[in-house]
C-alpha cells in the first residue's frame, strides 16, 4: 500500500496554477523547475499549461473551463498522466481524474507532493533512505483516505482480524497504514541510534563538522567530490543525492574536518518528507558550519536561498554559522574566484566553480582556517 508510482516514460500534461499576483520571471522559473521535476521522475512533458486565479477552485483547483482545456490537451497529445505543480486535496484529485477520463482513456492525476515522493523513491539507495521514503509515502497516503476514493467507503463485517462490527473499509485501511507507520518509525529509531553513535565519535575526535546544504541541483555533490576527492553520485537531475555521505578531509597541518553532503532542498518541500528525513537532516542541524551552496547563475537564486533557509529553520539548523558558496561562476564570465570578507575578517561568501575547479583551492584554505580556529570557537565558555 503506497502512493501511486508514475509509470515509465509516460507522456504528461503539466499544469501550473499561480495563485494571486506573481512576477513573470517567477512564473517562468517555477514552470521550468516543474518541468525538470517531471523529467526527473521519468516522465516527458508533452505540453505545459499555465493558469492564474485569485484563489483555487474548491472542486477541481483550476476551475471547470481550465479542466476542459487540460482534457483536450491530454487527448490531443496522448498523455497518460496530468501533473499539477500544486498541492491538491484527495477530493480534487478524484474529481479531476473522473472528468479527465470521461473520454474512456484513463488519465491519472499527480500533484507536486506525489511527484517529489516518486523522485525520492527512485533515488533512495541506503536502507535508511528507503525507510524514510516509505514512511513519507505512507503518511501521505493516509491523508488521501480522507474523502478520497469511493471504494474505500464500503462497510465490512467483523470477521476475525478484519475489524470491529461495521468497520468501514476506509477505517481498516487507515488502521493498517497506522500500524505500518508505527513499525517504520521504530526501525528508523534504531537506525538513528547508529547515526547518533557515529556522530558522537566525530564530536569526541574534535573534528570540525561541516555540512553542504543548498537548493537541489546547486552543485553540492560536485563540490563535495572536488573537496573530498570522492566519487559521490552526480547527475544533472533534481534530488540526485538523498543519502548523506560523510568524509574526513585533511586540509594541512592541524586542519581536519568531517564534511557531509546532504539532500538538496526545494521550495514547498512536502512537510512529510522533512519529518521523515529528520534523522538524516539532523546531520545538518548538528554541524558546526554550513556551506550554503548557491547556483549563482540561476535568476531565482535569491528565492532559492530563502527556500533553503526556511527548511533550515524548520529542522533546527537556522542558527548554525553559514558561509555562502556562490557556485557555477563559470557560467557568468564577469565573476572570478574570490573570498569576500567583512571589515573584521569574517568570511561572508566565496565564489567558485565546482565543475571547473576554479576557486576550490581557496575554499579548502577557508575550511582549513575554520578547522584551526575550531578548538577555540567550539570550546565551552569558562
How does pLDDT run across 234-243, given as a tens digit for each residue? Answer: 555 555 555 6
pLDDT for res 229: 79
pLDDT tens digit sequence for 25-42: 667 778 888 888 888 888
Would 236 be classed as within a structural domain?
Answer: yes
pLDDT for res 378: 41
Would 186 be classed as within a structural domain?
Answer: no
Which domain does 30 fall in, by range? 11-110
pLDDT for res 92: 92
Return the top range by mean pLDDT from 24-28, 51-55, 56-60, 141-145. 56-60
pLDDT for res 185: 84
pLDDT for res 54: 85
Residues β-bridged to residue 340 = 349
Shared domain for 211 and 319, answered yes or no, is yes
Q: Which of residues 86, 110, 134 is at a domain's end?
A: 110
Best CA proximity match to 38, nearest among 6, 63, 86:
6
Q: Work out the average pLDDT over 98-116.
A: 86
Q: Which of residues 77, 110, 143 is at a domain's end?
A: 110
Would 330 be classed as within a structural domain?
Answer: yes
Would 281 be classed as within a structural domain?
Answer: yes
> Cell 473520454, residue?
103
pLDDT for res 366: 92
Percent above pLDDT 70 for the chain: 78
Q: How many domains does the chain have?
A: 2
> Cell 518541500, residue?
269
pLDDT for res 230: 67
Q: Work out the average pLDDT over 205-220.
A: 86
CA distance 89 to 105: 23
Q: What is the DSSP letter of 249?
A: E
Three-state secondary structure readout of 278-313: HHHHHHHHCCCEEEEEEECCCCCHHHHHHHHHHHHH
For the domain that residue 310 is a member of, what is the CATH number?
A: 3.40.50.300
Higher pLDDT, 142 or 349: 349
Indicate the pTM of the whole model. 0.74
Would 349 be classed as within a structural domain?
Answer: yes
Residue 330's pLDDT band (boundaries 50, 70, 90)?
A: very high
pLDDT tens digit sequence for 356-367: 999 999 999 999
**For residue 322, what is its C-alpha cell?**
553559514
Shared domain for 240 and 100, answered yes or no, is no
Q: Work out the average pLDDT over 62-71.
A: 92
Residue 145's pLDDT band (boundaries 50, 70, 90)?
A: low
Q: Which of residues 85, 110, 135 is at a domain's end?
A: 110
C-alpha dist (Å) from residue 245 to 220, 259, 323, 369: 11, 8, 20, 23
Return the top range by mean pLDDT from 155-164, 236-245, 373-382. 236-245
351-369 in b/e burial notation, b at 16+ Cβ within 10 A? bbbbbeebbbeebbebbbb
pLDDT for res 201: 57
**DSSP-derived 3-state class of residue 214:** strand
Residue 2 has pLDDT above 50, yes or no: no
For the domain that residue 104 is a member of, what is the CATH number?
A: 3.40.50.11060
pLDDT for res 316: 86
44-53, strands of its sheet edge to edge: 44-53, 11-19, 81-84, 108-110
pLDDT for res 67: 93
Residue 199's pLDDT band (boundaries 50, 70, 90)?
A: low
Residue 310 has pLDDT above 60, yes or no: yes
Would 303 be classed as within a structural domain?
Answer: yes
Which residues make Cβ contacts (< 8 Å) with residue 346, sequence separation at least 6? none
Amino acid at each position: 500500500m503506497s502512493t501511486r508510482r508514475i509509470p515509465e516514460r509516460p507522456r504528461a500534461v503539466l499544469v501550473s496554477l499561480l495563485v494571486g499576483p506573481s512576477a513573470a520571471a517567477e512564473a517562468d522559473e517555477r514552470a521550468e523547475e516543474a518541468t525538470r521535476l517531471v523529467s526527473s521522475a521519468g516522465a516527458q512533458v508533452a505540453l505545459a499549461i499555465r493558469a492564474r486565479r485569485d484563489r483555487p477552485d474548491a472542486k477541481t483547483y483550476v476551475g471547470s473551463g481550465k479542466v476542459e482545456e487540460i482534457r483536450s490537451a491530454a487527448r490531443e497529445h496522448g498523455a497518460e498522466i496530468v501533473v499539477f505543480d500544486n498541492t491538491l486535496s484527495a477530493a480534487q484529485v478524484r474529481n479531476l481524474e473522473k472528468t479527465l477520463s470521461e473520454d474512456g482513456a484513463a488519465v491519472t492525476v499527480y500533484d507536486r507532493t506525489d511527484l517529489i515522493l516518486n523522485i525520492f523513491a527512485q533515488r533512495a539507495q541506503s536502507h535508511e533512505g528507503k525507510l524514510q521514503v516509505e514512511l513519507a509515502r505512507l503518511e501521505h497516503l493516509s491523508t488521501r483516505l480522507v474523502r478520497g476514493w469511493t471504494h474505500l467507503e464500503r462497510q465490512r463485517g467483523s470477521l476475525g482480524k478484519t475489524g470491529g462490527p461495521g468497520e468501514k473499509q476506509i477505517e481498516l485501511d487507515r488502521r493498517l497504514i497506522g500500524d505500518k507507520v508505527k513499525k517504520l518509525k521504530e526501525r528508523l529509531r534504531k537506525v538513528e541510534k547508529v547515526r547518533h553513535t557515529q556522530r558522537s565519535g566525530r564530536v569526541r575526535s574534535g573534528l570540525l563538522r561541516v555540512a553542504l546544504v543548498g537548493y537541489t541541483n546547486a552543485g553540492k555533490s560536485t563540490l563535495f567530490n572536488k573537496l573530498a576527492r570522492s566519487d559521490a553520485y552526480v547527475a544533472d537531475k533534481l534530488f540526485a543525492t538523498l543519502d548523506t555521505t560523510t568524509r574526513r578531509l585533511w586540509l594541512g597541518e592541524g586542519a581536519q574536518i568531517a564534511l557531509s553532503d546532504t539532500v538538496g532542498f526545494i521550495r514547498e518541500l512536502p512537510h512529510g518528507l522533512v519529518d521523515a528525513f529528520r534523522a538524516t537532516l539532523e546531520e545538518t542541524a548538528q554541524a558546526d558550519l554550513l556551506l550554503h551552496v548557491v547556483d549563482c547563475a540561476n535568476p531565482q537564486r535569491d528565492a532559492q536561498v530563502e527556500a533553503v533557509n526556511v527548511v533550515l529553520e524548520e529542522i533546527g539548523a537556522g542558527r548554525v554559522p553559514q558561509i555562502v558558496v556562490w557556485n557555477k561562476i563559470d557560467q557568468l564570465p564577469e565573476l572570478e574566484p574570490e573570498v569576500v570578507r567583512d571589515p573584521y575578517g569574517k568570511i561572508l561568501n566565496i565564489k567558485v566553480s565546482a565543475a571547473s575547479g576554479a576557486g576550490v583551492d581557496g575554499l579548502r584554505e577557508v575550511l582549513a582556517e575554520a578547522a584551526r580556529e575550531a578548538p577555540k570557537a567550539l570550546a565551552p565558555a569558562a
